[in-house]
Structure 1
Amino acid sequence: MGMVGARAKKGKRYYGRSRERRRRLAPWLILLAILLLAVPVVLRVPDVVQRALHPLRYEDQIRAAAAENGLEPAFVAGVIYVESRYDPDVRSSQGAYGLMQVLPQTATFISERSGITGDYRDPGTNVRMGAWYLSYLLGRYDGNEALALAAYNSGEGQVDSWLAEGRSLPEGIPFEETRDYVTNAAEARDTYAEIYGSNLDRDAR
């Protein structure tokens, strides 16, 4: 066989191997393309899950009530999440009602002090009253968020008695429910700020 024939035969073998290699690589290239297309969707999954676990409703009322009382909207949103999971009709065994679980006697106190009128069972009024009360408690306890949250959950008198006993709060709160409430509300505030923005100005849908 001449040199030309040998080269031709060698070229055919090389071409055959190259075609076989491409055939073997094809499924992997297709899989790689699918994975690259799926990356944006995969990256969005945690955000979608977080929004499903931490819904945001009544954001206009939350922003308005927060602005009215000098609060961060995400703080109000976090308290609502812990109090009611955004159910405007939920009622506790103690009679607290609505998004921010306002007690009838607390609603009377708030109305007398703040001038907020209306039915505390109305979602908008409920949020306004709850936000005002949070602001009031923050002022009463010199801006200490943990003490304000503890008082929102268990009452001012209870927190005052713990302070009078010399307890270190919130670590020294004797009620497990209130200790957990303070932690959960603070964490919920941070979560809502991360998902929706501290001013809750990101798209909630």
Structure 2
Amino acid sequence: MTRKILPWLILGFFIAIILLNWFIQSPYVQRKFYPLKYKNEIIRFSLEYELDPYLVMSIIWVESKFKPDARSGKNARGLMQIIPRTGQWIADQIGLSLYEDDMLYDPKTNIMFGCWYLAYLLKVFDGDVELALASYNGGMGNVMKWLKDDRYSDDGKTLKNIPFKETSDYLERIQQAYKQYKKLYKI
């Protein structure tokens, strides 16, 4: 009797695995893992600062999972995880005189600041997205040092490896999120 049931149990198990995999890969479920909130703000400031909105979505997802009240151990705040000192500097650059650190929790302000800063980093690094993202995460000063160090750069313009594991992992997570957002959302 069990010899007759066993093949059916095995078949049922494999069918269940296939169905579960199909369900998890469905756009409906994937959109739960990769949500899109603040779409209007993302599009508005991506256009204003000439950025790829999918890149902005990916940064927000990696930085905060779209939680506007996110705060890191390094005191970075909001959707795009901006450190208050950087927030103050951005406010000065864009002529915003009434800046307060808590403004970084406001989604519109945070996305505007994050997009402005990303556009700034892209200009500094001649449009090199990898260098701009490495700077966004690991600090512009560090990236500048790495570019001058032949252990990390052969030509002073690109990185052959990144010494901060956190930053290297960050770039990989951004790439993965970017692929998902491109696949799941049409803008």
- For residues 158 and 47 of structure 1, do their structure 2 counterparts lie closer, same or farther at Cα, with a shift above 3 Å needed? same
- AA in 2 matched with 1:129: F
* Structure 1 unaligned residues grouped into runs of 5+: 1-41
Q: CA RMSD in A?
A: 1.8
- 1:41-80 aligned at under 5 Å gives the runs 46-80=26-60
1:182 corresponds in structure 2 to 171
Task: Answer yes or no: is the 8 Å Cα contact 1:171–1:179 preserved in 2.
Answer: no
> Map of 1:1-205 to 2, 5 A cutoff?
46-116=26-96, 119-166=103-150, 167-168=152-153, 169-197=158-186, 201=187
Q: Secondary structure at the match of 2:163?
A: coil
Q: Is the 8 A contact 1:84 1:90 kept in 2?
A: yes
Normalized against structure 2, the TM-score is what?
0.78
**CA displacement 1:17-50 (0-9 Å, x = unmatched):** xxxxxxxxxxxxxxxxxxxxxxxxx799611121
Q: Could you say what secondary structure the match of 1:101 adopts? A: coil
Q: Highest relative contact order (Cα 8 Å, sep 6+), 1 or 2?
A: 1
**Structure 2 contact 130–171 (Cα < 8 Å) conserved:** yes
Contact 1:69 1:135 in 2 (8 A): yes
Shift of the alpha carbon at 1:189?
1.7
Q: Distance in 2 between matches of 1:44 and 1:95?
A: 34
Shift in alpha-carbon separation, 1:44–1:187, aligned structure 2, 3 A = closer
Q: Conserved in 2, the CA contact under 8 Å of 1:154 and 1:178?
A: yes
How far the C-alpha of 1:129 sits from its partner, in A, is 0.3
Radius of gyration: which is bigger? 1
After superposition, the C-alpha distances for 1:142-176 in whole angstroms (9 at most, x for unaligned) are 11100000000011001011011132354410111
* d(CA) in 1 for partners of 2:160, 2:77: 28
Contact 1:138 1:145 in 2 (8 A): yes
The amino acid across from 1:174 in the alignment is: P
Residue ranges of structure 2 left out of the alignment (5+ in a row): 1-21
TM-score by length of 1: 0.72
Q: Secondary structure at the match of 2:104?
A: coil
Residue 120 of structure 1 aligns to a residue whose secondary structure is helix
Counterpart for residue 19 of structure 1: none
Aligned length: 157
Give the 3-state SS of the residue equivalent to 2:105 in structure 1: coil
CA distance in 1, matches of 2:25, 2:77: 34
* Shift in Å, 1:78: 0.5
